[in-house]
């Protein structure tokens, strides 16, 4: 630009202004040419930086999906998410390109399509994991053959133990590690995986208050004997808490609060186990009564809660919780599904809008029925099908989909024995009222059973057994392999600017990706 200006001055001096119009034209032409060139250069540099960022984020998100697939096939994650609708969110333990993607894995279809449901009429193996006390045990896979059980042990305190269950059902004779995480009352314990080696335990703690604690369990079963973080989520009452993941670091807890009312609260738990010391949102969804509330996701921001309500009736409500943990302060729909009795309620997804509710009805008989809940949360207030899984007694039922249309129910019968039955429940909600197979897994005592999958055809049941001691036993239920038996998972990995969602079919140690969608966030 300076050279053009100098040229104009020279022309003006030498030609006494006769060529000024020509010089001005040159000046204007230079401006028109140089400005776009500079703009183009700047845009190219900016575009290059944006492109590099997008490529980096894409590779990072890609690594997150690959890690989730590895965990599903090699690290026991598929077994930890056995039910359609089960979900977990974690952060990649190691950074990729300076970033750690957030990964959400959701079971969209339970596997084992070839299941016949025939129970092997013998216990494979057993372990008395606590010879003193083992109330309300909950069993969870940590990694590979390593399992953890959380329970209320000696002194009604909160205990955590780890041990090994091989894929053939053999249980190691000794526990790997033991930790008393709450030494001043730890009842109604429940455990959930957060991320990596981090786990969260919800329980009724000191003063019957609601407590939440995070802890580290290594892949080899070694427990860090100190809490990562703890939070008193209700200073009044926090009985029978049930915790699920909502989205990312947001978790929801349903429980029986002050004056036995039903409460729903949301909290933040970071991937490293740090608990934000405040409740995000709170909603008193039943102001009359609520016992043992069980919550599951219905669709999107809609959740269903089954529980024992006013006058001991069986209740079902649907509510809205957004991804940030904000709870809409009103219910979507309510159904008093049993006006006589509805204890020990559990709700299980079957297929699409079809759900199963299992509970203890009038005269303590074991009952289950199917119903429809649409994505918006509207409940069809009549059963599709209803039968008794035990015409005599059916306490504390624990339901597990085995694959295809076969389901297992572990429960305590009239003589307090531990019972296991399998049933056929079709995708449209039709129930075969005749059990496929039946097993007494403990002929003395079988309180509060919790059943999970160990491997194809092998299952573990933790329960409070003889003398109130803690027991775990493995049983066999016949299954056949094949592609039709593959479980389906949705894996979403989020980097800063890129989100990748993959549909993954998992059949044992084999994974097949059926779709892979990359989106800009």
Say how far apart CA 162 and CA 312 lie, in whole Å: 36
Tell me whether residue 456 is in a domain: no
- Regarding whether 104 and 193 lie in a shared domain, the answer is no
What HEC string does 330-379 produce?
CCCEEEEEECCCCEEEEEEEEECCEEEEEEECHHHCEEEEEEEECCCCCE
Residue pair 265/243 in contact (Cβ under 8 Å)? The answer is no
- Regarding whether 178 and 52 lie in a shared domain, the answer is no
- Regarding whether 37 and 165 lie in a shared domain, the answer is no
- pLDDT value at 209 more than 70: yes
3-state SS assignment for residue 119? strand
Tell me whether residue 409 is in a domain: no
CATH of the domain at 148: 2.130.10.10
Helix then strand then coil, in percent of the chain rounded to 5, is 20, 50, 30
Tell me whether residue 375 is in a domain: yes
- Regarding whether 382 and 245 lie in a shared domain, the answer is yes
Residue pair 81/89 in contact (Cβ under 8 Å)? The answer is no
451-479, pLDDT tens digit by residue? 999 998 999 999 999 999 999 999 999 86
What HEC string does 445-493 produce?
CCEEEEEEEEECCEEEEEEECHHHCEEEEEEEECCCCCHHHCEEEEEEE
216-265, pLDDT tens digit by residue? 999 999 999 999 999 999 999 999 999 999 999 999 999 999 999 999 99
Query: Looking at the DSSP assignment, which residues form a beta bridge with residue 335?
Result: 316
- pLDDT value at 113 more than 50: no
Residue pair 283/273 in contact (Cβ under 8 Å)? The answer is no
- Regarding whether 357 and 287 lie in a shared domain, the answer is yes
Tell me whether residue 161 is in a domain: yes
Tell me whether residue 218 is in a domain: yes
Q: What percent of the chain has pLDDT over 70?
A: 86
How close are the terminal C-alpha atoms of the chain, in Å? 43
- What mean pLDDT do residues 109-124 have? 76
- Regarding whether 148 and 246 lie in a shared domain, the answer is yes
- Regarding whether 172 and 220 lie in a shared domain, the answer is yes
- Regarding whether 339 and 218 lie in a shared domain, the answer is yes
3-state SS assignment for residue 16? coil
- Regarding whether 167 and 81 lie in a shared domain, the answer is no
Which of 475, 466, 461 is CA-nearest to residue 147? 461
Tell me whether residue 506 is in a domain: yes
- Regarding whether 359 and 222 lie in a shared domain, the answer is yes
**Strand pairing of 437-442 and 447-455?**
unpaired
3-state SS assignment for residue 41? helix
Q: What is the number of structural domains in the chain?
A: 2
Tell me whether residue 470 is in a domain: no
Q: What percent of the chain has pLDDT over 90?
A: 69
Banded model confidence at residue 41, pLDDT cuts 50, 70, 90: low
Cβ-Cβ contacts under 8 Å for 50 (sequence gap 6 or more): none
Which of 416, 421, 432, 364 is CA-nearest to residue 394? 364
Tell me whether residue 442 is in a domain: no
Domain that holds residue 4: 1-85+98-111+486-521
- Regarding whether 142 and 103 lie in a shared domain, the answer is no
- Regarding whether 147 and 107 lie in a shared domain, the answer is no
Give Cα 329 distance to the centre of its chain. 24
More confident residue, 369 or 498: 369
């Amino acid at each position: 630009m300076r050279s053009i200006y100098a040229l104009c001055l020279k022309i003006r001096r030498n030609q006494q202004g006769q060529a000024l119009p020509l010089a001005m034209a040159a000046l204007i032409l230079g401006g028109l040419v140089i400005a776009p060139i500079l703009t183009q250069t700047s845009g190219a540099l900016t575009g290059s930086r944006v492109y590099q960022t997008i490529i980096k984020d894409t590779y990072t998100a890609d690594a997150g999906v690959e890690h989730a697939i590895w965990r599903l096939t090699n690290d026991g994650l598929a077994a930890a998410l056995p039910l359609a609708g089960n979900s977990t969110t974690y952060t990649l333990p190691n950074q990729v390109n300076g970033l750690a993607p957030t990964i959400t894995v959701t079971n969209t279809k339970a596997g084992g399509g070839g299941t016949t449901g025939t129970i092997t009429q013998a216990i494979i193996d057993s372990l008395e994991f606590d010879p003193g006390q083992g109330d309300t045990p909950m069993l969870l896979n940590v990694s590979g053959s390593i399992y953890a059980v959380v329970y209320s042990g000696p002194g009604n305190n909160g205990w955590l133990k780890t041990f090994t269950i091989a894929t053939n059902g053999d249980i190691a004779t000794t526990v790997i590690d033991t930790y008393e995480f709450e030494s001043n009352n730890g009842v109604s314990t429940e455990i959930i995986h957060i991320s990596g080696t981090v786990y969260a335990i919800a329980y009724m703690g000191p003063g019957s208050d609601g407590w939440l604690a995070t802890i580290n369990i290594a892949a080899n079963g070694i427990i860090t004997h100190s809490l990562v973080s703890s939070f008193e989520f209700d200073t009044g009452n926090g009985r029978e808490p049930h915790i699920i993941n909502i989205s990312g670091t947001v978790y929801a807890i349903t429980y029986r609060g002050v004056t036995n009312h039903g409460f729903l609260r949301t909290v933040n738990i970071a991937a490293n186990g740090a608990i934000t010391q405040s409740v995000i949102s709170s909603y008193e969804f039943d102001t009359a009564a609520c016992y043992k509330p069980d919550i599951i996701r219905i669709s999107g921001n809609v959740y269903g809660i089954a529980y024992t309500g006013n006058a001991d009736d069986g209740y079902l409500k649907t509510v809205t919780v957004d991804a940030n943990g904000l709870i809409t302060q009103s219910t979507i729909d309510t159904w008093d599904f049993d006006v006589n009795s509805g204890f020990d309620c559990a709700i299980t997804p079957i297929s699409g809008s079809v759900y199963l509710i299992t509970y203890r009805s009038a005269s303590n008989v074991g009952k289950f029925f199917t119903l429809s809940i649409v994505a918006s949360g509207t409940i069809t207030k009549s059963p599709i099908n209803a039968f008794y899984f035990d015409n005599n007694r059916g306490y504390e039922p624990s339901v597990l989909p085995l694959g295809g249309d076969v389901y297992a129910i572990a429960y305590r019968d009239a003589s307090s024995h531990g019972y296991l039955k399998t049933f056929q429940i079709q995708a449209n909600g039709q129930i075969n009222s005749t059990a496929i197979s039946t097993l007494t897994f403990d002929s003395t005592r079988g309180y509060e059973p919790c059943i999970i999958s160990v491997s194809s055809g092998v299952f573990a049941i933790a329960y409070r057994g003889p003398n109130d001691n803690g027991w775990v036993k493995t049983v066999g239920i016949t299954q056949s392999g094949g592609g039709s038996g593959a479980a389906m998972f949705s894996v979403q990995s989020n980097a800063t600017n890129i989100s990748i969602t993959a549909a993954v079919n998992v059949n044992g140690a084999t994974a097949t990706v059926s779709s892979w969608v990359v989106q800009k966030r």
